[in-house]
Amino acid sequence: MTDTKNDFSQGSIVGNILKLALPMTLAQFINVLYNIVDRVYIGMIPENSTLALTGLGLCLPIISMVIAFANLFGMGGAPLCSIERGRGNVKEAERIMGNSFVLLMAAGVILTVLGLIFKKPMLYLFGASDLTYPYADQYITIYLFGNIFVMIGLGMNSFINSQGFGTIGMMTVLLGAVANIILDPIFIFVLDMGVRGAALATIISQFLSAVWIVKFLTGKKAIIRLKSSCFRLEKYRVRNITGLGMSGFTMSITNSLVQILYNSSLQRYGGDLYVGIMTVVNSVREVITMPVNGVTSGAQPVMGYNYGAEKYDRVKRSIVFVSIVSIAYTTLMWILIHSFPEFFIRIFNRDAELLKEGVAAMRIYYFGFFFMSLQFAAQSVFVALGKARKAVFFSVFRKVVIVAPLILILPVILGNGPAGILMSEPISNLIGGCACFITMLATVWPELGRKTIDKETNK
């Protein structure tokens, strides 16, 4: 029998989603603070703050690669756990979680070794100059040594949220964020460690989050528990985890690819200044996408559980709610950024030249941003229902097929340098977002209708 604790097949759909989405949105907010507080403090360094901030921005593609593997095994396993729990198969859910944990640990070790070996050529490939490389090297060297903590902190927290413990999941992020916010100024300014201090604060904070997660998942309060007896890898289970996680993995890897192309192209056409602007643009993006990520993440366990429990009408209502909220929110944020771009830039840097050039860059990059919400909503549906191939396809389609070529082509065709590079984002949001959402409606919606009819017929 399916356990009745956190039973998403009962009660209000909106209530169930908000029960997870509100703490998960708050967790997203805290996570954003976690990720950007380094950039905020580094932007306050009295000397060479713009160069230091640019150096940190050059590390983002490597950090995205680490996040990609956390998504591969964390976001790949967690929806499968929700589906199995909806079917009442707790033992299989525990085996999935145990396999995911082992895969996360192994990936953390491998990425640390490879990252330390290839960091210098990678950073120069990503747009580093002789002025910015030392700052990037200082940060990423320390960050890589904490990869295992990052993998557990990001990957395993999904299994807490998938069981309906949104508040506990939020506390995981809160613990790390508070520690990071406290430690950053101490290491950066008091101990005068600069960029190294920011990286060390981040790794210590991730360690605390990882310990919290493991303690909860091995404790009595968890519905699905982390057990060493479930660590033995099974080929079919690993294949299912990686197959579903490929969507989140592909999104992060393609984000990394796009960041590399942005930084290298902007370095060519605009120099270190525009690489710094791109760091600010990415930081603002993390802030404004936070609530919509919280809603879509909160909806996934609800959709997956109801799909496994054959409550297809509830899955439909979840899709409608997520779509409306995502579109409304991103439309509002587009209006705010277009109207007050300088306000968002000043959060991270107050250099006069960066502010002057950054205002136009922000308006170009975020033009028509609400189209991106269509991909957010549809992608979350594909992942929640275990439709890995479609989720992966549209991740690749938007970033690799559309954005990457446009970054290289537009500045040449239009002859407008950095502006042409930045224009690739809104164009890809329009094409990729619409294609993903329309495909979801054309495939998932009819399927849910057919399954509902089949269920009623077989009664």
Segment 200-209 shows an average pLDDT of: 92
CA distance 127 to 437: 34
pLDDT at 3: 46
- Residue 354 tokens, joined: 């960066």
Q: 82-114, pLDDT tens digit by residue?
A: 788 778 888 888 899 999 999 999 999 999 999
Length reported for the chain: 459
CA distance 199 to 139: 5
CA distance 383 to 394: 12
Pick 15 or 96 by higher pLDDT: 96
Phi, psi of 439 (to 5 degrees): -65, -40
Segment 134-161 shows an average pLDDT of: 90
Q: Are 81 and 97 in contact (CB under 8 A)?
A: yes
Candidates 117, 164, 171; CA nearest to 144 is: 117
Candidates 285, 256, 269, 204; CA nearest to 58 is: 256
pLDDT surpassing 80 at residue 255:
no
Question: What predicted TM-score, i.e. pTM, was given to this entire model?
Answer: 0.69
pLDDT surpassing 90 at residue 332:
yes
Q: What is the mean pLDDT of the chain?
A: 84
- Residue 410 tokens, joined: 């537009």
pLDDT surpassing 50 at residue 2:
no
Q: Are 42 and 212 in contact (CB under 8 A)?
A: no
Segment 425-430 shows an average pLDDT of: 92
pLDDT surpassing 70 at residue 7:
no
Grade residue 1 by pLDDT with cuts at 50, 70 and 90.
very low
